[in-house]
């Protein structure tokens, strides 16, 4: 296939053949604003909005706290790798309709040879494709709208939303949480940093980081998985004097145990696995560690001013000084920089995924969300349990019936831990 004069022609033909959207079959209820509220307008939220529309559920509202479409999701914000970490063949939000998939979109614009030649999807191309998907399928997202709190009502939910005009309350029958890492517990900053340093001295990789301001400075990166190496690379490329990357493990994780989850069959059927097996997988992953992709490591080792410190967990941090363990008693390492060192905790096994019960929208419900691994040892269960139907359900204590559905688990593109 070569480039098409009208790159949207095939997608438009597929849309025509699909036929008009089915009529809404959900009877309206007095006092209910939405039949479904989708929290998060990233790729998952948009895919669910399209799927619901095709299922004849029309009163759906997608909200996102981001300023605008470019700030929603991770691809143009906190993701810093050149290419996606996942194989280009993984299904995306196209819902099984090839004309809406990445390959069709890309080939229509760049030709099939260009697609065949690409080993993995360039990150900006993936972001561009998602923007097209949202525009082409006309999925409306209400930006600058943050879910603050979910309050159960009589057979529905009240959503407390922060908007540009202030806090409002809207009602919905069902909720889909497509809120990315916030839904898995959010980011984690070790107390060694947060307790001792002013916020201006450190950032999480999920933050918008002004790398240009690190030019000529010594930078410390905490963590040795993919995002840590990506942040180190961008700091080096931005002209940092030196970047020191610290890991707790004595060697870099090299066994990609989570990769099998990238196979569509394994991914789609994951919620069918018994708890015991899921927990075994989680423990295996936890023990093996999250692997940095080879290209992320290659990107930093090109720089002579990149330094890797293994078996060097941080114990505490003070301005210009890190205390880390290396073999013996705590040792201080001073950064001899005329400017403050910027310590950056990044995507380690502990870099993301705090306790879901502490995340604002769900904090009231946290104790009632069934977790994968609850009752199993040795780690505390933190993540919502995906039910076989692909949904995690929230129950009132003592009741068997689900109150609402949260965090759809299947048919998303991610298999990243
Ligand atoms: C650095 C990095 C690299 C990754 N690389 C890959 C990869 O190569 N391949 C892959 O498959 N996966 C990758 N992932 C996983 C990736 O996050 C998902 O694949 C993808 O972004 C999931 O899309 P999503 O729509 O579920 O979540 P997101 O893209 O994270 O979108 C969630 C949205 O929810 C919004 N939101 C959150 N809380 C609220 C709230 N309270 N109110 C309103 N809106 C809210 C956010 O603003 C955001 O726009 C990576 C993740 C990271 C962090």
Give yes or no for residue 178 CB within 6 A of ligand 1: yes
Give yes or no for residue 184 CB within 6 A of ligand 1: no
Residues 100 and 128 in one domain: yes
The per-residue pLDDT for range 24-60, each reduced to its tens digit, is: 999 999 999 999 999 999 999 999 999 999 999 999 9
Give yes or no for residue 43 CB within 6 A of ligand 1: yes
Give yes or no for residue 227 CB within 6 A of ligand 1: yes
Nearest CA to ligand 1 atom 27: 180
pLDDT at 159 over 70: yes
pLDDT at 119 over 90: yes
Q: How far is CA 96 from the centre of its chain?
A: 22
Task: Give the per-residue pLDDT at 361.
Answer: 66
| 279 is a domain residue | no
Lowest-pLDDT choice from 138-142, 292-296, 362-366:
362-366
pLDDT more than 70, % of the chain: 75
Looking at the DSSP bridge assignments, the partners of residue 314 are 324
Q: How confident is the model at residue 189 (pLDDT cuts 50, 70, 90)?
A: confident
Give yes or no for residue 182 CB within 6 A of ligand 1: yes
Could you tell me if 323 and 312 are in contact, meaning their C-beta atoms sit under 8 angstroms apart?
Answer: no
Half-sphere exposure of 32 (CA within 13 A, CB side): 21
Distance 79 CA to ligand 1 centre (A): 9
Task: Give the per-residue pLDDT at 217.
Answer: 92
Task: Give the per-residue pLDDT at 188.
Answer: 86
| 155 is a domain residue | yes
Give the CATH number, domain containing residue 116.
3.50.50.60
Distance 73 CA to ligand 1 centre (A): 5
Could you tell me if 22 and 56 are in contact, meaning their C-beta atoms sit under 8 angstroms apart?
Answer: yes
Residues 97 and 158 in one domain: yes
Task: Give the per-residue pLDDT at 215.
Answer: 95
Q: How far is CA 68 from the centre of its chain?
A: 17
Residues 364 and 305 in one domain: no
Highest mean pLDDT among 270-284, 297-311, 323-337, 353-367: 297-311
Distance 46 CA to ligand 1 centre (A): 12
Residues 152 and 101 in one domain: yes
Residues 203 and 296 in one domain: yes
Stronger pLDDT, 5 or 263, i.e. the higher one: 5
Q: Which of 303, 330, 348 delimits the end of a domain?
A: 348
Using most ligand atoms within 8 A of CB, pick from 74, 133, 415 the residue to mutate for ligand 1.
Answer: 74
| 275 is a domain residue | no
Q: How far apart are alpha carbons 342 and 320 in whole angstroms?
A: 9
pLDDT more than 90, % of the chain: 57
For helices 9-18 and 102-110, give the axis angle rounded to 10 degrees. Answer: 140
Lowest-pLDDT choice from 227-241, 346-360, 379-393:
346-360
Lay out the sheet containing 314-318: strands in order across: 314-318, 321-324, 331-334
What ligand 1 atom has the least distance to the C-alpha of 179?
34
The per-residue pLDDT for range 328-357, each reduced to its tens digit, is: 555 666 554 333 334 444 333 235 555 555
The per-residue pLDDT for range 212-225, each reduced to its tens digit, is: 999 999 999 999 99
Give yes or no for residue 241 CB within 6 A of ligand 1: no
Q: Which of 348, 378, 397 delimits the end of a domain?
A: 348
Could you tell me if 83 and 295 are in contact, meaning their C-beta atoms sit under 8 angstroms apart?
Answer: yes
Q: How far apart are alpha carbons 312 and 331 in whole angstroms?
A: 10
Q: How far apart are alpha carbons 223 and 186 in whole angstroms?
A: 16
Lowest-pLDDT choice from 2-16, 65-79, 163-177:
2-16
Decide: residue 198, CB within 10 A, 0-12 exposed, 13-18 middle, 19+ buried: exposed
| 1 is a domain residue | yes
| 264 is a domain residue | no
Residues 359 and 344 in one domain: no
What ligand 1 atom has the least distance to the C-alpha of 148?
41
Give the CA-trace dihedral at 349, 352, 353, 358, to 10 degrees.
140
User: Domain containing 383: what range?
Assistant: 1-186+352-417
Q: Which residue in 292, 283, 297, 279 sits closest to 348, CA to CA? A: 292
Residues 196 and 323 in one domain: yes
Residues 144 and 15 in one domain: yes
| 152 is a domain residue | yes
Give yes or no for residue 40 CB within 6 A of ligand 1: yes
Nearest CA to ligand 1 atom 2: 79
Distance 205 CA to ligand 1 centre (A): 13
Q: How far apart are alpha carbons 278 and 15 in whole angstroms?
A: 38
Residues 359 and 339 in one domain: no
- Terminal Cα distance for the chain, rounded: 35
| 259 is a domain residue | no
Task: Give the per-residue pLDDT at 415.
Answer: 30
Give yes or no for residue 77 CB within 6 A of ligand 1: no
Lowest-pLDDT choice from 67-76, 254-263, 359-368, 401-410:
401-410
Stronger pLDDT, 129 or 357, i.e. the higher one: 129
Q: Which of 299, 330, 348 delimits the end of a domain?
A: 348
Distance 165 CA to ligand 1 centre (A): 26
Residues 85 and 20 in one domain: yes
Distance 413 CA to ligand 1 centre (A): 10
Residues 176 and 203 in one domain: no
For 92, the token pair is 């995306």
Give yes or no for residue 66 CB within 6 A of ligand 1: yes
The per-residue pLDDT for range 134-158, each reduced to its tens digit, is: 999 999 999 999 999 999 988 899 9
| 263 is a domain residue | no
Stronger pLDDT, 307 or 378, i.e. the higher one: 307
Give yes or no for residue 235 CB within 6 A of ligand 1: no
What ligand 1 atom has the least distance to the C-alpha of 230?
1
Task: Give the per-residue pLDDT at 351.
Answer: 53
Residues 138 and 241 in one domain: no
pLDDT at 247 over 80: yes
Domain count, the chain: 2
Task: Give the per-residue pLDDT at 259.
Answer: 74
Using most ligand atoms within 8 A of CB, pick from 43, 93, 179 the residue to mutate for ligand 1.
Answer: 179
Nearest CA to ligand 1 atom 10: 414
Q: How far apart are alpha carbons 242 and 333 in whole angstroms?
A: 14
Task: Give the per-residue pLDDT at 354.
Answer: 52
Distance 67 CA to ligand 1 centre (A): 15
In this structure, the strands spanning 218-222 and 166-177 are unpaired
């Amino acid at each position: 296939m070569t480039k098409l004069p009208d790159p949207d022609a095939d997608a438009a033909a597929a849309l025509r053949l699909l036929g008009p959207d089915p009529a809404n079959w959900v009877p309206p209820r007095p006092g209910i604003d939405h039949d479904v509220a989708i929290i998060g307008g990233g790729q998952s939220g948009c895919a669910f909005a399209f799927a619901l529309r095709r299922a004849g559920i029309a009163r759906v509202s997608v909200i996102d706290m981001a300023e605008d479409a470019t700030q929603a999701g991770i691809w143009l914000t906190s993701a810093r790798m050149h290419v996606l970490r996942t194989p280009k063949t993984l299904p995306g939000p196209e819902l099984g309709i090839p004309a809406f998939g990445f390959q069709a979109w890309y080939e229509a614009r760049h030709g099939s040879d260009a697609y065949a030649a690409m080993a993995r999807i360039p990150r900006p191309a993936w972001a561009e494709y998602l923007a097209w998907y949202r525009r082409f399928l006309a999925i409306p997202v209400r930006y600058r709208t943050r879910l603050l709190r979910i309050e159960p009502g009589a057979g529905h939910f009240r959503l407390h939303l922060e908007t540009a005009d202030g806090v409002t309350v809207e009602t919905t029958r069902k909720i889909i949480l497509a809120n990315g890492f916030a839904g898995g517990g959010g980011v984690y900053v070790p107390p060694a940093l947060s307790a001792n340093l002013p916020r201006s001295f450190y950032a999480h990789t999920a933050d918008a980081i002004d790398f240009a301001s690190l030019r000529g400075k010594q930078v410390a990166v905490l963590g040795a998985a993919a995002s840590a190496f990506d942040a180190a690379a961008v700091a080096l490329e931005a002209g940092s004097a030196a970047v020191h990357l610290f890991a707790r493990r004595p060697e870099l994780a090299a066994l990609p145990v989570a990769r099998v989850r990238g196979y569509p069959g394994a991914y789609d059927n994951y919620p069918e696995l018994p708890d015991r097996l899921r927990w075994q997988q989680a423990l295996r992953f936890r023990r093996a560690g999250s692997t940095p992709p080879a290209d992320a490591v290659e990107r930093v080792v090109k720089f002579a001013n990149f330094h890797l410190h293994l078996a060097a967990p941080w114990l505490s941090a003070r301005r210009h000084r890190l205390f880390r363990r290396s073999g013996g008693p705590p040792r201080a390492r001073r950064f001899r920089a005329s400017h403050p060192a910027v310590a950056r905790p990044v995507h380690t096994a502990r870099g993301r995924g705090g306790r879901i019960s502490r995340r604002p929208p769900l904090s009231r419900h946290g104790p009632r969300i069934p977790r994968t691994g609850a009752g199993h040892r040795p780690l505390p269960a933190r993540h919502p349990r995906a039910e076989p139907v692909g949904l995690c359900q929230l129950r009132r204590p003592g009741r068997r019936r689900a109150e609402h559905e949260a965090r759809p688990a299947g048919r998303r593109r991610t298999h990243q831990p």
